[in-house]
Chain A
Amino acid sequence: MSGRPADGHRPVLLGVRHHGPGSARAVRAALERCAPAAVLIEGPSEADALVPLAARDGMRPPVALLAHVEDDPGRAAFWPLAEFSPEWVALRWALEHDVPVRFIDLPAAHSLAMTQDDGTPGEETPGEGTPGEGTPGEDTPDGAAPGPADVRVDPIRALAETAGYDDPERWWEDVIEHRGAGGTTTGGAHTETDPLAPFTALAEAMAALREAYGDGGHHHDPLREAHMRLRLRAARKEFGDDVAVVCGAWHVPALAHRTTVAADRQLLKGLPKAKVAMTWVPWTHQRLSRHSGYGAGIASPGWYGHLFSAPDRPVERWLTKVAGVLREEDYAVSSAHVIEAVRLAEGLATVRGRPLAGLTELDDAIRAVMGDGTDAPSSLIHDRLVVGEVLGQVPDDAPAVPLQRDLTRSQRTLRLKPEALERERELDLRKDTDAARSRLLHRLRLLGIPWGEPAHSRGSTGTFRETWRLRWEPELAVRVAEAGIWGTTVHAAATAKATTEAIGATSLAEVTALAEHCLLAELPDALPVVMRALADRAALDTDVGHLAQALPALVRSVRYGDVRGTDATALRDVATGLAERVFVGLPPACLGLDADGAADLRGHLDATHRAVALLAQEETPPQPPAGPHTAHRTGPPARPADLRARWATVLRSLSERDTVPGLLRGRATRLLLDEGALADGGAERLMGLALSPGTAPTDAAGWIEGFLGGGDSGDGGMLLVHDARLLALLDGWLTGVPDTAFTDVLPLLRRTFAAYEAGVRRTLGELVRRGPTTTAAGPAHPADTDAPGFGPGLDRDRAAAVLPTLRLLLGLGQYGFDDLTEVAS
């Protein structure tokens, strides 16, 4: 059986490997030779109307044909085309020679409708059901046909295994892609001698395969192929027999197969149909590569592009390019390195019995010669060259992207009209519509479409309310078009963008902010990736400051997650992990600091303290939101308390370590005191130690600033007013400071005390003037040290007098004293 029908030379069936540069080159040579009257390309027939756009100046591959169901943009399929795709080459050839182009595959109207019938969830898999991607054997990428996926065969793999290769990609590269670039081919024929020879050979191989495997489990293939045959017949009627078909090699035998029109029509009868729209969208090399999650793809688009565009000596040219990139990154790479790398790569190819050094050989050579055996340059080269950072472009007048349609649809259902006039909107997140509106606005912000800006709520400050300032500016439409590259719906696009940003983020704070965003925008699919990135950054960040900075935002996110009813278990785990790292890293970080460093760390200390308190509170959220989602609270219940106890241990070790600056020791002591975590008289003991005569006066003053200075935990002045022993200690120390040192400590003390309220300052002054009467009182009543500075025992009458007012304030019942104590504590 031959790739061509028996009746001579025409039509020409050019079986290719999608995205194969060798195939692309061969296609061009074949087209030059045959000069067909029309070119038929495997691709959805609706794309015929979009062909002229491909000739425009503004069109630069990689681009993709995008088809989506008109009223459901989430159901979409892409047919990506790179510069080195045979289909693109054929398209350009036809446009340059004014030859008509027809896309002959099953219309997207049917294929999209069928994926729907298959039960394939459209929205989450925008790249699936794309009959233009991958190797010929993987025409419909993974997941599009969930049922019989396991019985599918990969024809190229079968061929490669027959040829004794373990990797089908390498086999294809050796036999097809590298031909014409100086290697020998299996048939011994050269592209120059007969451009059609490789296609004939490949068609024969495929025919043999298809005889063995039938349709290989692609159950849509018979339909698609019937449609292709029909279109081929129509084209022959219109343009004569002189037409060329560019399609996946797998389909060639089916197209050459003789069937009746009636039989093909019968097959296509009664197919489901959807109303679809089609457009060109820009594509990127990253998305062509298989790492991007778009089902089947190619691992090395940059390398393929190079193979396609390099006129000769691809190995030398590639390594020169590599050397250029490495030099930019300050690697010392000389021409001698390039020469040696070329030799090594070619030597390796010989040892491995390949016609030409491939990517594997080049990678090995780069590692051994240019990278001193390390991976760093290789991974750099992989990102920059092997995959490449190429971004395609489409003309401005290409039809609108589905993202815009999806946005319009959401705007309609949420009754949120785009208006140029700025207006404020209050959203109550407990209402479904408002919550959906908030989500939409957050997602748009994530996509760089700042339609709404969050504003501070004027009325309530509760977490259930959000205030947005909305304003639709005309250029936002452009932003929407730009964001179209991320996906076809706002949700999918925001998810894709968040994921990408999380992977690319450089600082911990960036990822934390992103995590917060993801929760607000409710992107549960992006959250795992963001969490992963967050955990990784946290694990590798050695600066406790960064960790401590990230912690509050993260804890806040945990709380938002609770309010909005999203499951924030993962988030809480990460936050707890982050807290642990802060605990471990904080004590060493507090050593050997200057004044500024200590002041910075004091801020972190406070922030961590607050965050830990919030995190520990998680057990009983203050206002559980309505709805059933709060029920599944997981995690061991002992954990938050555990966390708190460990934090107290850290603080204690800080407060007692002499090498820690006074400011931090004082702060730690204060936090412990506020927590009630200090043992009886602990604060006095520590203060006594800190203010003992041996201590340098400035250090002692620092301690006082830390202990008594204004922080978030409130004014230290009241503490002094009520704890006479502390005041006495302070007083004693101050009077003992030598004259020479007094001028040094004065600014510090002033800074501390100046922040107190006027009333507190006056009371303090009065207390001090009254003299150290209470110094003896402290130790005299050891039993009452729970409330230092107060008289012995509880004066029940006086306490009871306050209660009615307190009840009123708290809105409690007449006899709610027990409740009261509970709440008050």
Chain B
Amino acid sequence: MSENTDQTTHDTAGHDPARPAAAAPDTGGGEALRPHAEDTFADELKALAAADDRPRPERWRLSPWAVATYLLGGTLADGTVITPKYVGPRRIVEVAVTTLATDRALLLLGVPGTAKTWVSEHLAAAVSGDSTLLVQGTAGTPEEAIRYGWNYAQLLANGPSRDALVPSPVMRAMAHGMTARVEELTRIPADVQDTLITVLSEKTLPIPELGQEVQAVRGFNLIATANDRDRGVNELSSALRRRFNTVVLPLPATPDEEVDIVSRRVGQIGRSLDLPPAPEGLDEIRRVVTVFRELRDGLTTDGRTKLKSPSGTLSTAEAISVVTNGLALATHFGDGVLRSGDVAAGILGAVVRDPAADRVIWQEYLETVVRERDGWKDFYRACREVSA
């Protein structure tokens, strides 16, 4: 194993990917700011492994059933409580876990803030006991990040050899039969993406410089995450797409869940911006969430009226930023209470992304839904004001 780190993995120097899940974190003695999933939940993983009597695919730490339990939470026969890591439909988690046991890789899609990365990290931790074999996709991700790089000092001194090779996380995962992760797959340039095709279909990574190859051993698989709405940035080629099973992580299922998420995040962000907490604003937050959900789903909350959906994402993350903005407005220019006027402009900006089509959609929504709604008069007026 190489002693070198490469540019996409941060703390894997000298790190043996085949180490057991319960091994001590390799953080050089200090307390990590954010320990890896397999370290944070080492006890749960150990208890699950002990209780798990179902068949495990080769090199899996747990059976697929136990992995699903690890993610969704539950109580084991010996009384160990497994905390839920992901709150969402059980079916989705089961499909994701089962995919990892098949020939295909797993692609997690979803709008920002739907816990794609979180799910991918925990899946890798539960399946392989290691969530650190990670490639972060950016517009500048080079091919070396997925295949291998060279230690140039070694290369110049001794010529090409396996010692001079710097393996990528993907390569390491293949060699050891582990789960590799690729974040933001669609942000990686198309030619670099396509490097994955050989890896995923032939399960091999050729090293032409050495006339060698690294073949994936059983247990290797890959989890990629991609932003739903960024499709088209670097759309996956259909050849690559075919190597993936796609699982779409949904937005929060109920308004209450979403209001809860938004107000919690707003509270956190607000503290770091020194904004006062806004318990009075809960109504306004609920309103923002309602507007976002209705336009996103193309349906009013009462399920009676259909609506057109604007081109913007209207994700939970955007609702959070609208409310935070409104809070800042209220604090610095208003009386400190979050009112409809404070959020109206933010909502308009979030909804109307395409000035022609979205504006009509927004106006229609205002006139046909908002105007009629009880107790929304002030909001309607505020929106009319900023829309005019």
Contacts and interface: CB of A to CB of B under 8 A. Distances in A.
A364 B241 contact: no
B242 interface: yes
A347 B102 CA distance: 8
B368 A360 contact: no
A364 B290 CA distance: 29
Contacts of A365: 95
A348 B95 contact: yes
Contacts of B242: 334, 336-337
A193 to B, nearest CB: 28
Contacts of A350: 64, 98
Interface string A324-347: 000000001010110010011001
Nearest to A542: B308
A344 B98 contact: yes
Interface in B350-388: 356-357, 359-360, 363-364, 367-368
Given A344-B99, A347-B101, A364-B94, A540 B246 contact: no
Interface string B69-105: 0000000000000000000000100110111011110
Contacts of B107: 373
A588 interface: yes
Given A340-B103, A347-B98, A585-B360, A536 B368 contact: no
Contact of A368 (B65, B95, B298, B307): B95
A369 B98 CA distance: 12
Contacts of A364: 91, 94-95
B248 A374 contact: yes
Interface string B2-20: 0000000000000000000
Nearest to A343: B102
Contacts of B356: 588
How many chain B residues sit at the interface, stated as a range, is 35 or more
Contacts of A332: 238
A347 B91 contact: no
B364 A373 contact: no
Nearest to B300: A539
A595 interface: no
Contacts of A584: 360, 363-364, 367
Interface stretch (A575-583, A730-738, A813-821): A575-583
A397 interface: no
B306 interface: yes
Interface string A508-550: 0000000000000000000000001001100110100000000
B236 to A, nearest CB: 9
Interface residues of A, number: 36
B68 interface: yes
B247 interface: yes
A279 to B, nearest CB: 39
A372 interface: yes
A798 interface: no
A627 B298 CA distance: 42
Contacts of B357: 542
Majority DSSP secondary structure for residues of A touching B: helix
Contacts of A340: 102-104, 245
Given A344-B102, A350-B64, A536-B306, A368 B94 contact: no
Given A351-B97, A585-B360, A580 B102 contact: no
Interface string A571-597: 000000100110111001000000000
A369 B104 contact: yes
A237 interface: no
Contacts of B307: 539
A375 to B, nearest CB: 9
A168 B308 CA distance: 38
A635 to B, nearest CB: 12
B305 interface: yes
A352 interface: yes
B308 A344 contact: no
A374 B250 CA distance: 11
B109 interface: yes
Nearest to A353: B65
Interface in B233-269: 238, 241-242, 245-248
Nearest to A340: B104
Contacts of A337: 242
A585 B95 CA distance: 43
Interface in A357-380: 360, 364-365, 367-369, 371-374
B368 A351 contact: no
Contacts of B248: 373-374
A727 to B, nearest CB: 37
Given A340-B102, A351-B97, A581 B306 contact: no
Nearest to A364: B95
Interface in B289-307: 298, 304-307
B201 to A, nearest CB: 10
B305 A348 contact: no
B95 A539 contact: no
A540 B298 CA distance: 9
A372 B359 contact: no
Contacts of B103: 340, 343
A347 B368 CA distance: 47
Nearest to A585: B360
A344 B367 contact: no
A336 to B, nearest CB: 7
B67 to A, nearest CB: 9
Contact of B368 (A343, A540, A580): A580
B247 A368 contact: yes
Contacts of A352: 94
B367 A580 contact: yes
A327 to B, nearest CB: 15
A368 B357 CA distance: 32
Interface string A404-425: 0000000000000000000000
Contact of B305 (A351, A373, A539): A539
Contact of B98 (A348, A371, A583): A348
A371 B367 CA distance: 36
A604 B68 CA distance: 58
Contacts of A588: 356, 359-360
Nearest to A578: B368
| Residue from B64, B98, B101, B242 whose CB has the most chain A CB atoms within 10 Å | B98
A540 B306 CA distance: 7
Nearest to B110: A373
Given A344-B98, A347-B98, A588-B359, A539 B306 contact: yes
Given A340-B103, A584-B364, A585-B364, A348 B359 contact: no
A343 B356 CA distance: 46
A476 B363 CA distance: 50
A373 B109 contact: yes
A550 B366 CA distance: 22
A164 to B, nearest CB: 14
A334 B64 CA distance: 27
Given A373-B247, A580-B364, A583-B367, A347 B64 contact: yes
A583 B307 CA distance: 16
A746 B185 CA distance: 62
A334 B242 CA distance: 9
A368 B99 contact: yes
A336 B305 CA distance: 41
B22 to A, nearest CB: 24
Contact of A540 (B64, B94, B99, B308): B308
Contacts of A374: 248
Q: Which 6 residue pairs spanning A and B have beta carbons closest together?
A: A373-B246, A373-B248, A347-B98, A539-B306, A368-B245, A536-B306
Given A351-B98, A368-B245, 10 more contacts: A347-B64, A347-B99, A365-B95, A372-B246, A373-B109, A540-B306, A580-B364, A580-B368, A581-B367, A588-B356
23 contacts: A340-B104, A344-B104, A347-B102, A348-B95, A348-B98, A350-B98, A353-B65, A360-B91, A364-B95, A367-B95, A367-B246, A368-B246, A372-B246, A373-B246, A373-B248, A532-B304, A535-B306, A539-B368, A540-B298, A580-B368, A581-B364, A583-B367, A585-B360
